[in-house]
A and B are shown apart, each in its own frame.
Chain A
Amino acid sequence: MRHHLILRVITKLLVGTIFLFALYVQFHGDYSPGGGFQAGVIMAVGFIIYGLVFTLKKAKMVFPPWLVHKIVALGVLIYAGTGVYSLLTGYTFLDYSAIDPHAPVHGQHLGILIVEVGVGVTVTGVMVAIYYAFAARAPNLRDQDW
């Protein structure tokens, strides 16, 4: 895709915006539509569009596969870890009041935020990993094929 100047310039502009939007959706999910699932997908779309336009190799330099695989597991661990934490502090599993015993409502806020981060991280990881797996097998398309 060396010749597609417009595509490459536009993509460079877009990728940053997409990441910013993903973070907004992630952390503003309490107040407006959005949350971990959507943010994860949007984040992954950012990496995928980068990989599509600037070849898979460059995308893998930005976000190496070993890191993707770690991240997939990390998200589930964050989520389950929140539950285990509340268990250890004497509450029921996934009861976020444990995070801030003096102000349960505040604890709920924090808990939702942490759990959503876990979800977002896992979804990002899985989507990017799936994209890498598919793209790594695709035969290299020549420019004439487009």
Chain B
Amino acid sequence: MLIVTALSVVVTRSLFAIVTLSGVFSLLSALLFVRMHAVDVAFTEAAVGAGISTVLMLGTLALTSRSERSDKKPQIAPLFLVVLTGALLIYGTLDMPDFGAPDTPAQTHVGPDYIERIPKEIDVPNAVTAILASYRGYDTLGETAVVFTAGIGVLLLMSGLARRRKEDEEDEGGSS
């Protein structure tokens, strides 16, 4: 179903439909996250992907255009490039461990260590929260700073101009 949704994004022209499809895509991927025991991630994805980003994209659509203009150019080069990259990545997975195997490198270093230490050191039932805020506190501080910076950037791009234009209009009104 995820693949069907993603493929329909490629062929659809109406941008409104595309934005809705991307919301659907987010919800479906949230389901997949639950299936893979990542409840926190699924929660975030459902709230962010299906909620906030759909609203923001619709807001952008209201400010821009609603449909994509067709371009007739042949698209063989990108397709070739994509297939090549995909083939290389699949070649890479041949050396990857099996899905869900408990003895992979990812499962044998810090992961079990955290699970062992959290009850003793942090005593917080939700391991994700404990790692997020305590063991990886630096990371989270950085992420918060990134969100902060992105917010500042959007404010600079969007509201600064609105004010300037208002001033421009006032200036024009005054001069004419």
Contact = CB atoms under 8 A, between A and B. Distances in A.
Given A72-B148, A131-B56, A137-B162, A31 B43 contact: no
A133 B155 contact: yes
Given A96-B134, A108-B134, A138 B59 contact: yes
A141 B151 contact: no
A136 B160 CA distance: 12
Interface string A106-141: 001101100110110011011101111111111101
Interface in B106-158: 121-126, 128-130, 132-134, 137-138, 140-141, 144-145, 147-148, 150-152, 154-155, 157-158
B137 A37 contact: no
Interface in B20-44: 39-40, 42-44
A139 B159 contact: no
B48 interface: yes
Contacts of A72: 148, 151-152
B90 interface: no
A141 B62 contact: yes
Size category of the A interface is 35 or more
Interface string A95-107: 0100000001100
Interface string A40-75: 011011001000100000000000000001001101
A105 B138 contact: no
Contacts of B162: 136-137
Interface string B162-175: 10000000000000
Interface in A4-47: 25, 29-38, 41-42, 44-45
B44 A37 contact: yes
B10 interface: no
Given A133-B158, A134-B63, A141-B62, A83 B137 contact: yes
Given A75-B144, A76-B148, A108 B48 contact: no
Contacts of B48: 41
Contacts of A1: none
A25 B130 CA distance: 15
B6 interface: no
A124 to B, nearest CB: 11
A48 B148 contact: no
B45 to A, nearest CB: 10
A25 B128 CA distance: 14
Interface of B: 39-40, 42-44, 47-48, 51-52, 55-56, 59-60, 62-63, 121-126, 128-130, 132-134, 137-138, 140-141, 144-145, 147-148, 150-152, 154-155, 157-159, 162
10 contacts: A31-B124, A38-B40, A41-B48, A41-B51, A75-B148, A108-B123, A119-B140, A125-B151, A134-B59, A134-B63
